[in-house]
Every structure is written in structure tokens, then in C-alpha cells.
Amino acid sequence: MDLPWAEPWRAKTIEPIRRSTRGERESWIADARYNLFNLRSDRVYIDLLTDSGTGAMSAAQWAEMMLGDESYAGASSYHKLKATIEELLGMPYFLPTHQGRAAENVLMSTLIGVGSEGAGKLVPGNSHFDTTKGHIEFRKAHAVDLTVAEAFDTQSLHPFKGDVDLRRLKDFLEANPRERVPLCIITVTCNSSGGQPVSMANLRASSELCRKFGVPLFLDAARFAENAWFIKRREKGYAEKSVREIVREMFSYADGATMSSKKDGIVNIGGFIAFRSRELWEKASTFNIMFEGFNTYGGMAGRDMGALSAGLREACEEDYLEARVGQVAYLGEKLESHGITCQKPFGGHAIFIDALRFLPAVPRAEYVAQTLGIEAYIEGGVRCVEIGTLLADRDPDTRQDRYPALELLRLAIPRRVYSNDHMDYVAATFANVFARRDSIRRGLRVVREAPILRHFTVELERAL
């Protein structure tokens, strides 16, 4: 008989978590103004708010923490990380930053400009992540979403819903002069469309189009290893290739990449920008020194660079990826067994629940996905995050809510943290909410919000 699946790791340290009462949770979420980001972590039982910086580091990574070289300039930890990035990604130049959005800030300052220098510029891509879009719009430029249409049908089984629509990309590049398009950025995997992968064929074709029109192509590579795993499993011609071989080919089509290392780097803090061009690296170095720090430490301690070097290698291990993506699918299958509609095929780092199908009675203007997230917290102490109208922010010109094609609730699973028993608990929590969904007919309204990236700090109240 086939042996059952088991996690390719064992626990050496545990962190106790406490189950609260329903009454406590109702009080706590009201005090948090119905913003799940405002909750104290010790008031959350299962925390699926994000997979960013929440993973468990390995023994090898903890060993690197003790070996960190904290020299201001030329630290050995920097050179260790530089060698790893060049070996895995094929990028000879990089700048360390304190996290992914810092990398975006440096890159956008370099390619789009600072202040209002970006006015009128356009950045095409595949459903830009919230901070990516925020950095673009902060510079008065516009993010242009060219994701394939299948991404917005949760029941479509298209294997690569993160793909760029190549016809639309070609038309866009033909219609806009080069000086208006400072870069194209493709997110792998594409978080905003449900943790969906981008195919190698799509990366290759997108690269050819960008090079034809002289537009630099960058990857948002926060979950590059998960993307490579899906290519290996789903794309013809790659089943026999190693994940490392696939990763090298993915990055060969790009001029550079930003990375939040808190995802597939499996560390608690850190990020970087990788470059193929020394000239562009030198230009970006000016902003990195201004915003982050000297080029050989940026926004990172030496110990964190060492841990990241080990984490990037571990993220490319195939038994780890099988377990990682497998646990996400396990939760998705459990939820769907209760009749709950999720984005399919299941993504690499999270399950995305279709909130509009879950709560059809809640008006769209009352933030349906956020409402579902609040109900899940009250029901079982499970914290998730809205990927919908709140996250979409207001239109920068009209200041009206932007309604995305999908209202999703993301259940992001930290790496190497929770067992499948925890996933069973999460599924049971949502099953209980689903059983009483007909009684949930009103949502939330905004009391106070920031002008950009409002979902982090917004204050809400129940709509009456």
C-alpha cells in the first residue's frame, strides 16, 4: 500500500495559543473597529491574516542567526546572500531592503520617479499586489491590470490564472509610447487573483513583447518557488525538470525582481531587489542608500541575511513544496466539502473564499469579504484578510470605491507552522458561518480611512 503523506519536518519548539470565548471575541473586534489588523495577536486562535514573515525558521536558519556578520560594510553575510541569489536566480546584482514594499519603493523611485514625476505613466502587469499598486499610484502613475479573464471566474480550472493576457499586453505596448511605460511587473504567484501561478510560456512571451518595445520586465518574486512548483506539476515539458532549473529559467526572462523575503524566503523580515544590469543597480543604489542603508546591508541585519540565504535554498526543496502546496489544497478541499466556493484551482499560499457567493444578501457597498472575515473571527477566532473592495482602495481620480471583479477572503497559511488539525478547525469554523449565512444580511461602513492603502488602518462599524 502507498504510505500516507506526512510533513517533511518535526517540531522542536512550540508556542502556546489560547482559545477565547465568543463573547470575548465580539468585544475585541468591536474595540478593533472591525479591522482585523487592529486585533492583538494573543486574541487570535488561528492566524491566517498573512503568510508574510509568519513562517517557522529551520534549525539551519537559526544557526545562521548566530553566524551573522554585522559589519557596516562588506559583511560576509551579505556576500553569502549575494552568492545564493546569483546561484538560484541568475541575477548578479542585488540590493537588500527591510521588506518587499521597501524594495518596491526603491525600484519605483528609480524607474517611475519621485513625487509627481510619475504623472501619466502606466505600469502594466497581472493584478498588482496592494503595496505595488500603492507605490505606483503614490507617484501619480497608474497600474494597468492585464490578467487573463479566467482569473476572475472562481470555478474556471485554468491551470495558470496568474498569466498576463498577451493580446492585451501587445495592444497596450503598441498604443503607448515607451516613455509612458517605465516597466512591466509580473507577480509570481499572483496573490491578488488567488495565489495563482504564471506559466513559463507566458513569462517567455511577455518577456519577448517587453524587449521588443524596450520596456524592462520585473518579477514580483515573493512566492517564486511556489510558482515554480506549479510549473513543474501543470506545464507540459517541465515534469522532469528540477524546481531549481525551473526557477533559473523563470528569472532568465526578467530584467530584475523585487522580493518580500518574508514569503518564500521563510524569514521574519527582509527583502531585496535583484538586477541583471549593473547600470540599473547603480542607479537604484542611490535610492537604496537614502531609504534603506548602505548597499551591503540595506535594511537588514547580517544575521537575517544569513537566515534568508538558507531559507531561499530550503524554499526550492521539492519535498517542502509538496507539503506546503498540499496543505493549502487540503484546506480548500475541506471547505468545498461544506459547500463553500473557493478560487480554483487552489493556489500556492492561501485559499481564497468567494465572499459574494458565501454572503449573497450583503450589499456590495458594505464590504462583503470584510464582513465574512469578521464573522469567521467571531465564530472561531480565525483571522483572515479581505481581498476585495477595501483593498482595492478608492479610485485616485474620482475617490469612489473601486469594485473588483471578485470579492475574496484570503486564508493565508504560514509556512511550517500549523498542522492539518488546525486546518480542520478552520474548515469547521467556516462551515458554522455558512450554516447561518442567510441571517447575515448587512455588512459594514467606513468611519475613518487613510487616503491610500486604507485597509491596514481603516475603522468600520456595523451597517444598520
Closest CA to 184 of 112, 120, 288: 112
Give the strand pairing for 46-47 and 350-354. unpaired
Read off the C-alpha cell for 21.
470565548
Out of 129, 251, 253, 430, which one is annotated catalytic? 129
Q: Which helix (H) or strand (E) holds 173?
A: helix 166-175
- Three-state DSSP at 67 gives helix
What type of residue is 149? Answer: A
Out of 102, 221, 222, 225, which one is annotated catalytic? 222
Q: Please say if 220 is a catalytic residue.
A: yes
Q: Please say if 175 is a catalytic residue.
A: no
Other beta carbons within 10 angstroms of residue 92's beta carbon come to 14
For residues 159-195, one letter each, b for 16 or more C-beta atoms within 10 angstroms of the residue's C-beta and e for the rest, the string is bbbbbbbbebbbebbeebeeeebbbbbbbbbbbbbbb
| In contact, 154 and 340? CB cutoff 8 Å | no
Closest CA to 43 of 58, 23, 62: 23
Q: Report the C-alpha gap between 368 and 459 in whole angstroms.
A: 15
Out of 51, 145, 165, 220, which one is annotated catalytic? 220
What type of residue is 284? Answer: A
Q: Please say if 201 is a catalytic residue.
A: no
Q: Report the C-alpha gap between 222 and 321 in whole angstroms.
A: 15
Out of 121, 128, 334, 455, which one is annotated catalytic? 455
Q: Please say if 263 is a catalytic residue.
A: yes
| In contact, 147 and 189? CB cutoff 8 Å | no
Out of 130, 165, 255, 304, which one is annotated catalytic? 130
Out of 42, 59, 72, 171, which one is annotated catalytic? 72
Read off the C-alpha cell for 256.
530584475
With helix as H, strand as E and coil as C, how does 225-278 read?
HHHHHHHHHHCCCCCCCCHHHHHHHHHHCCCEEEEECCCCCCCCCCEEEEECCH
Other beta carbons within 10 angstroms of residue 155's beta carbon come to 10
For residues 129-139, one letter each, b for 16 or more C-beta atoms within 10 angstroms of the residue's C-beta and e for the rest, the string is bbbbbbbbbbb
| In contact, 373 and 386? CB cutoff 8 Å | yes
Q: Please say if 130 is a catalytic residue.
A: yes
Out of 135, 232, 263, 334, which one is annotated catalytic? 263
What type of residue is 463? Answer: A
Burial class (CB in 10 A: 0-12, 13-18, 19+), 240: exposed
Read off the C-alpha cell for 61.
536558519
What angle separates helix 130-138 from helix 100-111, to the nearest 10 degrees?
30
Residues recognised as catalytic: 72, 129-130, 220, 222, 263, 455
